[in-house]
Amino acid sequence: MLFCPRCANLLLIKSVGGSMMFTCSTCSYVYHVSDTMKNIQVGTKKIVSEVESEKETGEVTESGCCPECRHNVVRFYTKQIRSADEPETIFYTCTKCFHKWRE
């Protein structure tokens, strides 16, 4: 992509009489394209590590009840799996049968 040096708008490519040129639709700047092609890379790619938003609290609660074995001690953690304005999802694991479910 090329930008106009006069007004900073994006230059559009046009073919006029068999030759290629970049033109500015705002200020009528024209840049004639030569036969030589160049590949210019600006900047470098960065490897971005994925942010892990899962917070495994490992807290034991007496108020939970496993739907499989009816054991009342469960471990839980929360995870944001929807958009930021939605509440976090709570994942439970039974400490007896290791059944997993979520709310």
Q: Which residues are annotated as a binding site for Zn(2+)?
A: 4, 7, 24, 27, 66, 69, 94, 97
Residue 90 burial (10 A CB sphere; 0-12, 13-18, 19+): middle
Q: How many whole angstroms separate alpha carbon 6 and alpha carbon 14?
A: 19
- Distances in Å between the Cα of 91 and the Cα atoms of 33, 58, 72 are 59, 11, 15
Cα separation of 63 and 21, whole Å?
Answer: 72
Annotated binding site: 4, 7, 24, 27, 66, 69, 94, 97
Q: Which amino acid appears at position 34 of this protein?
A: S
